Amino acid sequence: MALLSFTVGSLITAHLAHIDQVRADSNRVFELRVYHTLPGKVPALESRFRDTASKLLAKHDLNVAGYWVPEGTPDWENTFVYLVAHSSR
């Protein structure tokens, strides 16, 4: 009964709030890439990425929005993350 009441209340609230679907202004798509490396290899990968990989990706119309190395948690050690922006799907 409680689940039914919650569902009905949610539907009524959504209808009264006139929630519309959100659409982006463009067809731009982002891709999150996560690399897990061998221990101690992240600095070399970061250096290679900074010096050559970003330029190579841009040559193929893959724009790097940013890259980073997570810190502070052992689960993310030896991990390199970057975000690529595509002009469309």
The answer to whether residue 76 scores a pLDDT higher than 80 is yes
E strands of the chain, at which residues?
A: 29-36, 63-68, 79-86
Half-sphere exposure of 55 (CA within 13 A, CB side): 5
Tokens of 70: 């997570």
Q: Kindly list the distances between the CA atom of residue 21 and the CA atoms of 18, 24, 58, in Å, as whole numbers in the listed order.
A: 10, 10, 33
What's the CA gap between 88 and 51, in Å, rounded?
26
pLDDT digits (tens, 9 = 90+) for 2-19: 666 666 666 666 556 665
pLDDT for position 46? 87
Tens digits of residue pLDDT in 39-71: 989 999 888 888 777 778 778 777 888 888 888
pLDDT for 11 = 63
